[in-house]
Amino acid sequence: MDKIAVLIPCYNEEKTIAKVIRDTKAALPEAVVYVYDNNSTDQTAELARQQGAIVRYEYMQGKGNVIRRMFREIDARCYIMVDGDDTYPMEFAPKMVDKVLCHNADMVVGDRLSSTYFEENKRPFHNIGNSMVKASINHLFGSEVKDIMTGFRAFSYGFVKTFPVLSKGFEIETEMTIHAVYNHMQIDNVIVDYRDRPEGSVSKLNTYVDGFRVLGTIFRLYRDYKPFGFFSLLAVLLAIIAILFFIPVLLGFLETGLVLKFPTLIVCGFVMMAAIQSFFAGLILSNMATKSRRDFEYRFSQVCKEERCKQGEEPCR
């Protein structure tokens, strides 16, 4: 087991990868640097290998697929994940490592939004999107995470080996954050500087397509992790619709003693039944989510025991 593993997912980063590796080795000389190449068509892999990094490959396109591969293959006490585009200064990495190794953090967020991000980033829609995602997740999940979509993070062994990677692309950061928040893992924050990409380096993030994917991920994970809240909101919405359309039918009946709009009455009845079903579906799924959390706590404790075993702190059985 490595003490510190630095994981760098890369796709066509030949302009910056060599500098990122040099900066990493200067900041964390004891770390093992892994570069995972995701079908690059330039010299990214060759340049990384020349700088002494261990180069591996993921052939399924997408950052989420790369992270799944990295988390499966690498064992370490502390993981640093950083993008290969040289937007994150590596001098902040030792402080993030200390949070994991000495202060029991499960995930450390490299917080760009509290420092230079809004000055350095030249894409205004990214600024708006980051703020919206941060506000929505903190509101929906009752958290106080400072930067949801940062690509600069540190993880414990327990987090990495229990995190189910479901996303394929850039929405993976959102998924990581919600997973940690929902399972009450210790999340620490380190404010880091941010610098825009150097000239000639091109972002792979599509503002609109990936933005909608992130919003879809938030919607999906809120439904999965907070089913009672999600289906209760749906039940209230359906009940309001049913009541609004039922009121004219009721007023007509009170005035004439006749039901003048039988189709509307029937539809209102079905919509109200759907609202009731949605409410009880939320109750059932909430109980299932509670059981899933209990199972996760047991699995997490087993993974932590496995980590101690690999470090030689207790006998393996």
Q: In this structure, how many other beta carbons lie within 10 angstroms of the beta carbon of residue 244?
A: 10
Total domain count, the chain: 2
Which of the listed residues 196, 224, 252 is the one where a domain comes to its end? 224
Q: Using CB atoms within 10 Å of the CB of residue 303, give its burial: 0 to 12 exposed, 13 to 18 middle, 19+ buried.
A: middle
Range of the domain at 260: 227-310
Structural contact between residues 107 and 150, judged by C-beta atoms closer than 8 angstroms: no
Does residue 96 form part of some domain? yes
Residue 196: the pLDDT is: 81
Angle at 81 between CA 49 and CA 57, to 5 degrees: 40
Q: Which residues pair with 236 in a beta bridge?
A: none
Q: With cut-offs at 50, 70 and 90, classify the pLDDT of residue 317.
A: very low
- The answer to whether the pTM exceeds 0.95 is no
Higher pLDDT, 268 or 120: 268
User: Rounded CA gap, 305 and 281, in Å?
Assistant: 36
Nearest alpha carbon to residue 168 among 217, 225, 218, 224: 217
Indicate whether 308 pLDDT > 90.
no
Are residues 293 and 233 part of one domain? yes
317 lies in a domain?
no
For residue 83, the model assigns a pLDDT of 93
Of the ranges 44-58, 105-119, 126-140, 191-205, which one carries the lowest mean pLDDT score? 191-205
**Is 316 part of any domain?**
no
User: In this model, does residue 119 exceed pLDDT 90?
Assistant: no
Lowest mean pLDDT among 140-144, 194-198, 205-209, 210-214: 205-209
Which residue has better confidence, 215 or 193? 193
Strands, E assignment, the chain:
2-10, 32-37, 54-57, 76-81, 107-111, 153-156, 187-191
Q: Which amino acid is at 90?
A: M
176 and 29 in one domain? yes
Q: Region 98-112: what's the mean pLDDT?
A: 95
**Among 101, 62, 56, 58, CA closest to 78:** 101
Q: Is 193 domain-assigned?
A: yes
Grouping H, G, I as helix, E, B as strand and the rest as coil, residue 259 is coil
**Beta-carbon count within 10 A of 114 CB:** 14
Q: Is the pLDDT of residue 54 over 90?
A: yes
Of the pLDDT bands very low, low, confident and very high (cuts 50, 70, 90), residue 19 is very high
Half-sphere exposure of 281 (CA within 13 A, CB side): 15
| CA dist., res. 280 & res. 196, Å (int) | 49
> Residues 178, 109: one domain?
yes
The answer on 184 and 292 residing in a single domain is no
What is the Cα–Cα distance from 198 to 20, expressed in whole angstroms? Answer: 12
Nearest to 152 by CA among 8, 11, 16, 41: 8
Residue that is last in its domain, among 201, 224, 247: 224
- Average of per-residue pLDDT values in the chain: 90
Q: Which residue has the higher pLDDT, 196 or 250?
A: 250
Mean pLDDT within 263-291: 94
Q: Provide the edge-to-edge strand list for the sheet that holds 107-111.
A: 54-57, 32-37, 2-10, 76-81, 153-156, 107-111, 187-191
- Average pLDDT on 245-266 reads 90
